[in-house]
Amino acid sequence: MKARRLLLGVLLGAAAVAVARSGHELPVYPSYYPHEIEIATMPPERAAALLVEGRLHAYFGTVPRFAVPLPEHIRGVESLGALIMLRVNPASSLARDETSACAVASAVLRAIAATRGGPIVHPYPVTPLHGDYLHHVDLAEAARARLSGDVNAPPIAGLKVRTDGATQDLVTVELRADGVEWDAEIAEVKVADLLAPHAVAINGWEGPPWLRMGWFHASLVLGNATSPTADQVQRLQADDFKSAVERINAERDLIANLTSGCRALVAGYRLRREYFNGEFSAGIENIGFDALGGLGSSIFIRTVKLKDFPWNGSLSLGFDGRPDAAWNPIAGFTDPFGRLLWFAVGDPAALPSPYESAWMLNRISDVALPAKP
């Protein structure tokens, strides 16, 4: 009888364990989202303080100005921020023919390379941050060898370079053009501004398939609708090729035509560095970002995870500029603020693939195809 009561007690104890409830969270959270996403505009100084204090999760735009040494929990990601354009003045007495124009371009490239903290000198429009760079790496190296010139070459007497506000520090005071006379000019083109007019934030799509391709970016900064390469661009957009090899060769041919001379070229690029709070447990993790768009891309919103209470927390994001575009999916959401807002509520069908120039599906469904008749 005692043995029977003992066995009954063991069974009741096992049953109690089987139905026990715990306050611990599940280790896997399928399809989670923060219950609130706050996007605020603020100056870099304010963003730096909030990041250090753990009251801001990520900041987009200008690099925050940290008043203290960067804490360990503040981390950064790098992406393609801007292209540096170089143009030789066709009316310059120093560039009367192609040979002398190339000499001027080489001299400006050497001047840019000599600046401390300047852009990465890369005289080819497809950069290592483009997903299709491997299709062009040999051409990029050849362009570097052709245009870098002799680092010990004497400076060109009387050379004057016109700059814009973002490129003023890339040449010495002696080289800067202070009047209407100039031999070459350098200007900065932000990649986000370059691509924004061509993006399509409607019906689950972010843009045409070629939006992230290096050849398309090259056609935007070095070509135009009336240039001889317009037909090549149209063929690439139509994907009128029998194989991937034929298409890649067409992309290379297009850029070879766009970069055949020295009077207009991409001199290099700047990296964009954006910061986020990775502190445990007030920070974020599982962050996806785009090599072209950085944190301000749809893959960030779809992957970022709050370390503390991922489905019942607030994601706090900061921007360095106020929204200045219309808020509608047809003609608006074209500024960085609006694009991130639309990424959060628009639920795009495809996301930028982090390590290539293609796209990846936002979600995958097991769809049964109808049987062939």
d(CA 195, CA 35): 31
Listed as ranges, residues in the chain with pLDDT below 50 are 1-31
pLDDT of residue 373: 64
For the chain, helix, strand, coil in percent to 5 are: 35, 20, 50
Neighbours of 298 (CB within 10 A): 24
d(CA 61, CA 64): 9
d(CA 100, CA 67): 48
pLDDT of residue 2: 46
Instruction: At 129, list the tokens.
Output: 């941050």
The model's pLDDT over 121-137, given as tens digits with 9 standing for 90+, comes to 999 999 999 999 999 99
Can you give the residue ranges of every domain in the chain?
A: 29-79+273-361, 80-204+259-270
Neighbours of 235 (CB within 10 A): 14
Instruction: At 70, list the tokens.
Output: 């960067």
Nearest 5°: CA angle at 317, between 314 and 318? 145
Helix (H) or strand (E) holding 53: helix 44-53
Q: Which residue is listed with tokens 């760079």?
A: 133
pLDDT of residue 12: 39
Q: How far is CA 136 from CA 13, 19, 140, 284, 352, in A?
A: 69, 61, 6, 36, 21
Instruction: At 54, list the tokens.
Output: 């753990």
Q: Cis before residue 365, ω within 30 degrees of 0?
A: no
CB burial class (10 A; 0-12, 13-18, 19+) of residue 3? exposed
